[in-house]
Each structure stands twice: as C-alpha cells, then as structure tokens.
C-alpha cells in the first residue's frame, strides 16, 4: 500500500473515531435525561457569560435568597470561572441533592446558600422516546455511510467530500450543552470543536459536492478561485464559533475577545450558506442537462429530486424568517436551523431567532452589552445558539443560549 494511502486511512480513522465518540457521548447524555428526567436535576438558575450574571432564578433558588442579576462566585464547591464549573456538576447532580452556592447581590452583599435541586422534569412520553431514537440513529447512519465511501475510494477527492458532507448532515441536528461542557476530560474540547465546526459547514460541503460530483464542473476548472469567495468565510466563521465555545468552558473573557475579532453583520453568513446551496442546485442541474448518457442523467435527476425534498422546506422557512413581518426583529448568523418540519422550537447553535420588541423597543438584557447565556431545557426540545446581532439602538451584541 502506498504511503499516501496509509496516511489517508490514518486520517480517516482518527476523524471517524472522533465523530463516533462524540455521537455516542451525546446520545448517552440525551437518553439519560429522557429516560430518567425525574431523577436528574434542573438548573436552579441561568447564567450570563461573561460577567457571571444570574438570571431566571427558579423557585428553589429564590427560596434561599439567590437573586436575579446577582453574580455567581462559586457553585458546588468550585470557584466559578467558566461554564464547565456550572454544567459539569449539574450533569451529575440528582434531584434532592443540595449544592452550595456563593453569590454577590447587586448591592454588593456576598451570600452563601445551599439549594435543594428539583427534578429535571416529568417522565418522557413514549412517542417522544421513539422520535428521539430516530433522531439519534440517523446521524450514526450518516457517519458510517460517509466513512465507508471514503474507505472504499480513499484517494478519490469526491469520496472525501461526501464524507465531510455526511458528517455535517449528521451534526446539524445535534449539539447538547451537557455534552459540550459537562465532561471535564481531555476529549471535551475535541468533541466541542468537532461538533460545532462540522455543524456549521453544511452549505460549503454541499457546494463542493455539487462542483465535483460526478465530474468536476467545467466552470470550476476555468475559475477555481470563485468557490472560495463563498466557502472561505463559512469555514472561518465555523472555526471561530467552535473556538468560542471551547473557550467559554474555562476562559470566557478569551471567548468574547475572539468573537469580537470578526463580527459579520446579521444574516450575512446565512446568505453565504444559501448561496452555496443555490450553487449546488445550479451545478447539479447543469450537469443533468449536459450529461451524455441516460444513466448519468437519471442518477443526477434522482440526486436533484432528493436534495429538493430534503432541503426545500429548510430554505423556505429560513426565507420566511428573514422577512421582517410586523415589528419582529429577525437575525440569523448561520444555517444551523434544525427540525424545521416539526412543530417545536428549532434547535440550533446559530439559528433563526425571532426577537420581539418589548417596552421601549428592546429586551432589557440586550441593552447591557455582550453576553452569552447558557442554560438547557429538555433534551428532546432544546435550543442552542450563539448569534451576533444589533439591538434596536444599533449597538452590537453577542448573545446566546444553549440547551
């Protein structure tokens, strides 16, 4: 076997091991909560990063004097320096446990309290469990299919593009904060970086697939630099998002500094994704009409029809959300909108969000500056996003939620 082939097999094995390890870890965390929600504990409050601000205090926190807009100094015996210090204890906590909390009120008073944690939620319905089985099996199928194609044709660039596309498809409907930041081990930053990068490059991977499958597009042979005008910002933004969340675990100040290095206007990255997807359809259509054999034309038509059915609803919903109907403020920073065909909030790390103006036109916490809000809801109905936007006064804000 040539040295180059051995090296490619090694790279494929490492990438496959990382992807499967993360997928198994997230699936395990998710089903642990789904199967035993009454045994696990819910968050007694939410936190705003950076600044360590406490928000949305639950009754169990209010009972012992924890205040909204206070500052979290320590949690469960750990000095609070990042999201890991909050998420890791909560992942292993059980309903009925007591956790020690040290907070500082807005008046400057430091208070030590012991919170008795409450159940995560009621038992999960059987229909929801069955639905989640499908949601979590399909990503594994995508990973194994992509890895198998790449292994069979290890030196074929089209096989590698297909593998990357399958990894992105597998991860676009994933992302769970208790998996991202609830395992304080060597794999934690690797898993976070992998999941967030892979889930934010779907548009770019589709464009490459459209250009190279089944044969390289003639236009790309003449002007190979054109595609990089679309995909380079997507890859850069995906890398930035992945690094941001890795740093949020222990170094929130560095995370915000990194995020401020490049702040694309709202919706700009999404438009690049949509442009990539549009070019994917255009490339496949061009190859379909110019195919010289009936068999090639039939396969390309099948690919085109399948892509239309799978991606069409997503594109329609994104376009609808981009139109500022009424007084809503719509901002999007990535294409990671998921479960768009289902009647529930769309889980997304950077997704379509509807910000309604309240009172004087802005939500209060959006006036205070940069923040990343981390919390989590039920694992079958979660929201994860890290978006950049302007408030109604035109100030740049960095905010997010995870769940």
Q: What is the pLDDT of residues 215-268, one digit of tens each?
A: 899 999 999 999 999 999 999 999 998 998 899 888 878 887 888 888 887 678
- Per the model's pLDDT, the better-predicted residue between 304 and 273 turns out to be 273
**Dihedral class, residue 117 (left if φ above 0, else alpha if ψ from -120 to 50, else beta):** beta
Q: Strand ranges (DSSP E) for 62-199?
A: 71-75, 78-79, 98-104, 110-116
Q: Which two tokens stand for residue 343?
A: 């009647």
The mean per-residue pLDDT over the stretch 365-376 comes to 36
| CB neighbour burial string for 65-76, b if at least 16 within 10 angstroms, e if fewer | bbbeebbbeebb
Reported as a single tens digit per residue, the pLDDT across 159-173 is: 999 999 999 999 987
Q: If DSSP codes are grouped into helix, strand and coil, which group holds residue 263? A: coil
* Residue 51: per-residue pLDDT: 59
Question: Is the separation of the CB atoms in 23 and 169 below 8 Å?
Answer: no
Question: Which domains are present in the chain?
Answer: 46-116 (2.30.42.10), 145-322 (no CATH), 347-401 (no CATH)
Residue 279, H or E segment: helix 268-290
- Predicted TM-score (pTM) of this structure: 0.79
- The answer to whether residue 387 scores a pLDDT higher than 80 is no
DSSP 8-state secondary structure symbol assigned to residue 313: H
Q: How large a percentage of the chain has pLDDT more than 70? A: 77
The mean per-residue pLDDT over the stretch 175-179 comes to 89
Among 74-88, 99-113, 328-342, the minimum mean pLDDT is found in 328-342
């Amino acid at each position: 076997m040539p040295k180059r082939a051995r090296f490619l097999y090694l790279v494929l094995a490492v990438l496959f091991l990382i992807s499967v390890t993360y997928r198994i870890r997230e699936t395990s965390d998710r089903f642990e909560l789904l199967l035993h929600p009454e045994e696990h504990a819910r968050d007694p409050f939410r936190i705003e990063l950076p600044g360590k601000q406490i928000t949305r205090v639950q009754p169990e926190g209010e009972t012992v004097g924890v205040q909204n807009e206070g500052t979290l100094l320590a949690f469960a015996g750990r000095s609070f320096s990042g999201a890991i210090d909050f998420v890791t204890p909560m992942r292993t906590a059980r309903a009925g446990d007591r956790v020690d909390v040290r907070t500082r009120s807005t008046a400057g008073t430091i208070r030590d309290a012991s919170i008795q944690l409450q159940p995560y939620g009621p038992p999960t319905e059987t229909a929801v469990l069955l639905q989640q089985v499908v949601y979590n099996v399909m990503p594994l199928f995508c990973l194994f299919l992509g890895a198998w194609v790449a292994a069979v044709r290890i030196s074929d660039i089209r096989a590698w593009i297909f593998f990357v596309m399958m990894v992105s498809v597998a991860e676009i409907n994933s992302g769970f904060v208790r998996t991202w930041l609830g395992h304080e081990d060597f794999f934690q930053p690797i898993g976070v970086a992998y999941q967030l990068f892979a889930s934010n490059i779907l548009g770019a991977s589709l464009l490459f697939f459209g250009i190279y499958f089944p044969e390289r597009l003639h236009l790309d042979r003449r002007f190979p630099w054109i595609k990089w005008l679309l995909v380079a910002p997507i890859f850069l933004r995906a890398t930035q998002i992945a690094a941001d969340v890795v740093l949020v675990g222990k170094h929130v100040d560095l995370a915000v500094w990194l995020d401020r290095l490049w702040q694309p206007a709202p919706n700009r990255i999404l438009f690049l994704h949509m442009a990539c997807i549009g070019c994917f359809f255009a490339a496949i259509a061009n190859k379909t009409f110019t195919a010289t054999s009936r068999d090639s034309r039939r396969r390309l038509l099948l690919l085109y029809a399948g892509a239309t059915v799978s991606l069409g609803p997503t594109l329609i919903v994104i376009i609808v959300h981009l139109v500022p109907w009424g007084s809503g403020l719509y901002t999007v920073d990535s294409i990671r909108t998921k479960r768009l065909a289902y009647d529930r909030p769309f889980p997304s790390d950077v997704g379509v969000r509807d910000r309604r103006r309240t009172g004087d036109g802005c939500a209060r916490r959006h006036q205070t500056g940069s923040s990343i809000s981390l919390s989590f809801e039920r694992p079958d109905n979660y929201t994860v996003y890290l978006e950049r936007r302007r408030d109604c006064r035109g100030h740049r804000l960095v905010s997010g939620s995870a769940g």
